[in-house]
Structure 1
């Protein structure tokens, strides 16, 4: 048999083997964990993506390839053109921001929701542009990104930064949004570190939360442990990213802060977080985590919440999820979605690697709206 034919046979067998591997080991239905209730039953039945198989992109289902593609798309795609970016002065003199889209067509009288988005650990309104664009184009909802102090192009008017964000800052941002649109429900979406800020706020607020529903994508849960579990390569890259993004960009502000010089010598993301108290306004590491770690208040969350994690996440690793199953399965009105693939906040699907998680977010919020509308009709009939 000619050598060329032998090569073709082996290539064919390899393709068949790869195809069967994809069918048997990659495609799967998400694992759901939730407290049995009328709410969870109805939301799950209305949110089709929760009960259908997830088909990760066949040429990009490896967690590292997904993350690489995500970063390439973010860096190469055009900047999103927001309608308006506002700078807000906080009570302590710090500056946060709000990036709005959808203001030009807003109807103040209808009850369509405002989607409040929280960006990543060293991101801003542009690193969540794909999710913003999808929700805006698909549902015509107003979307606003809460920009944390020291992020993006915001001036650092006070030398205090918390990579995970500050719930006191967030409360001021949400109060401003609610005052601007008092009749519209607020739906929150946290992406990576943004989900930590969201969860911390929801836990601290309990029944007083200003959100009607929320989604947390790729949360880390216990950040005191989780940042030390990040894949070593990514941990080193992200540790250097923290130095460049926060310390070097705001060098003049932090050069006068006692202890900030220690942060220039860290090697990993975990080390950076452990020393972050020096520039985040806390006296020590313990105080920082006590006031920032979302896991400490997670069991007090009352707002309907969808949580999404991938088992192959190299940044917010699966061990973080497994340690928290005891409350994920029992917290009322919370649905945990656990996929085998998806990497960190990527969750690509289909031949063209579109976002499965963005579609899930939209479907979930639609289900919440339908559930609330049905309950309102039932309450009026009695």
Structure 2
């Protein structure tokens, strides 16, 4: 009797499970139980690994997330709030996609190939650029989509509104700057994929020694040294004179982009820029105590880079000591502030003049290093709109209280969007079809489109004013000046009273902005 019962028990259990699955509430209860159990296990693992834990809602309905936009009230800011619809829709995702550590693992740490390979469904082709000092940087062009379905979406984009079309001289070039480690992350590859789908032409900038780029000179670039990026942008400008140049940076790569925008000012050749989870204070970020697991992984990756060129770098660095460092801060100091570096800088300064010479002759200690490498050292010279995306649950950046909100309140060029969840760079968002996508990618690309549309409208207004005031001959001369691909400088006619700041939740996307007088003209300060 019992033998027959036990032999039929597996079949009976299978029939019982089949019957129970027909009831939706049973399925929902089982899914919820499994999710809660997995969430508890994940929290235990994070505590064992000494990683910060964050509260993540079980469903998107429970999460009352919102985007807090911090900026100076300008015509461009008002235009963005009215037309950049994705910026008004915060990233919402359920666990585990919404967990910051899960996002970091899948979007930043997941293994990918480096160099001009077939990655993430995108085909890359590489240009190696020889610099003035003999160094080499690489430009990886995302030239085509390998996924035929994605290519079809590109050819038939909804609404027919994209900014660029396939040609030898692309209309919109997006310069993508990876993080300071130079790693091509899955997050960056997804950005290239989505940019191609929407008609942009992305190109990834690799610093010397990064991304498989050969190191032909025995030194790396400092954290905020913009000389290589400036030459790369000038190269793109000269070879694509009719193209609009945009730039977006990832994580610590924003230190280089912000430094470039500040140093070059109105000569940056860029129309707009964006920073995803940016590092605003370089020294603070290096001295900030990261979770040990991420610190250890970054150290190992950085040491592999240094060890690859150990023989060449030994003439200017104490490679053996660098490879025994226990923090990124110690590595950075030994690489750029050590006695050997001082001797090398002095010898190099003999062959350099002007700005570069003044840069090399400065004192090489830790505080002086950051005086010339802080991302926002020349923030008041920035002359193009810059959108920065930050998240409150970012475990790889200092607390949100360290963000220089005063800069965004006072400068007409800086805009800051703060979300409640998003982790570091990822900002995963449920797409409504059972999958997830990156909210930051959608925001950045739509921001570029809206800014481009805004400048086109302002240029048309400028044409009409010139025609009415000066006639057709002056119009021809002014048109060539207005269409110059440098930057657009905002000249605001200040009002003595009724100034307003956009920093409280009530100011986000729900009110009509007080109309003020602004004019966008092309002007040059350098």
Q: Alignment partner for residue 67 of structure 2, among 10, 14, 30?
A: 30
Structure 2 CA distance for aligned equivalents of residues 378 and 209 of structure 1: 24
Q: Alignment partner for residue 105 of structure 1, among 151, 154, 166?
A: 166
Equivalent position of 1:44 in the other structure: 81
Cα distance, 1:150 vs. partner?
Answer: 0.7
SS at match of 1:131: helix
Equivalent position of 1:289 in the other structure: 370
Relative distance call for 1:47 and 1:284 in structure 2 (3 A) is same
Do the aligned partners of 1:118 and 1:189 also contact (CA within 8 Å) in 2? Answer: yes
SS at match of 1:265: coil
Do the aligned partners of 2:123 and 2:142 also contact (CA within 8 Å) in 1? Answer: yes
Equivalent position of 2:436 in the other structure: 353
Q: Alignment partner for residue 301 of structure 1, among 382, 391, 409?
A: 382
Q: Alignment partner for residue 189 of structure 2, among 116, 126, 129?
A: 129
Q: Alignment partner for residue 313 of structure 1, among 380, 384, 394?
A: 394
Do the aligned partners of 2:382 and 2:413 also contact (CA within 8 Å) in 1? Answer: no
Structure 2 CA distance for aligned equivalents of residues 162 and 142 of structure 1: 26
Structure 1 CA distance for aligned equivalents of residues 286 and 242 of structure 2: 39
**Unaligned ranges ≥5, structure 2:** 1-16, 21-25, 40-55, 145-164, 346-359, 466-526
Equivalent position of 1:331 in the other structure: 411
Equivalent position of 2:46 in the other structure: none
TM-score by length of 1: 0.87
Deviations 1:184-233 (A, max 9, x none): 11100011122111001011112222111000011111111112222232
Do the aligned partners of 1:148 and 1:165 also contact (CA within 8 Å) in 2? Answer: no
TM-score by length of 2: 0.65
Relative distance call for 1:12 and 1:74 in structure 2 (3 A) is closer
Aligned counterparts, 1:90-239, within 5 A: 90-102=131-143, 105-106=166-167, 108=169, 112-124=171-183, 128-138=188-198, 140-162=199-221, 164=223, 166-229=225-288, 230-239=290-299
Do the aligned partners of 2:119 and 2:189 also contact (CA within 8 Å) in 1? Answer: yes
Do the aligned partners of 2:265 and 2:383 also contact (CA within 8 Å) in 1? Answer: yes
Please tell me whether residue 79 in structure 1 is matched to residue 162 in structure 2: no
Deviations 1:247-296 (A, max 9, x none): 11111211222434331121122322233314696633334322222032
Relative distance call for 1:285 and 1:276 in structure 2 (3 A) is farther
Relative distance call for 1:160 and 1:25 in structure 2 (3 A) is farther
Task: Please say which structure displays the higher CA radius of gyration.
Answer: 2
SS at match of 2:127: strand
Relative distance call for 1:57 and 1:209 in structure 2 (3 A) is farther
SS at match of 2:132: coil
Relative distance call for 1:346 and 1:38 in structure 2 (3 A) is same
Cα distance, 1:344 vs. partner?
Answer: 1.0
Equivalent position of 1:241 in the other structure: 301
Structure 2 CA distance for aligned equivalents of residues 363 and 352 of structure 1: 20
Structure 1 CA distance for aligned equivalents of residues 258 and 252 of structure 2: 10
Cα distance, 1:154 vs. partner?
Answer: 1.3
Structure 1 CA distance for aligned equivalents of residues 314 and 389 of structure 2: 39
Relative distance call for 1:290 and 1:322 in structure 2 (3 A) is closer
Do the aligned partners of 2:100 and 2:394 also contact (CA within 8 Å) in 1? Answer: yes
Relative distance call for 1:203 and 1:106 in structure 2 (3 A) is same
Structure 1 CA distance for aligned equivalents of residues 174 and 69 of structure 2: 24
Structure 2 CA distance for aligned equivalents of residues 188 and 106 of structure 1: 20
Equivalent position of 1:377 in the other structure: 460
Do the aligned partners of 1:57 and 1:353 also contact (CA within 8 Å) in 2? Answer: no
Do the aligned partners of 1:124 and 1:147 also contact (CA within 8 Å) in 2? Answer: no
Cα distance, 1:120 vs. partner?
Answer: 1.5
Structure 1 CA distance for aligned equivalents of residues 365 and 304 of structure 2: 23
CA RMSD of aligned residues (A): 3.0
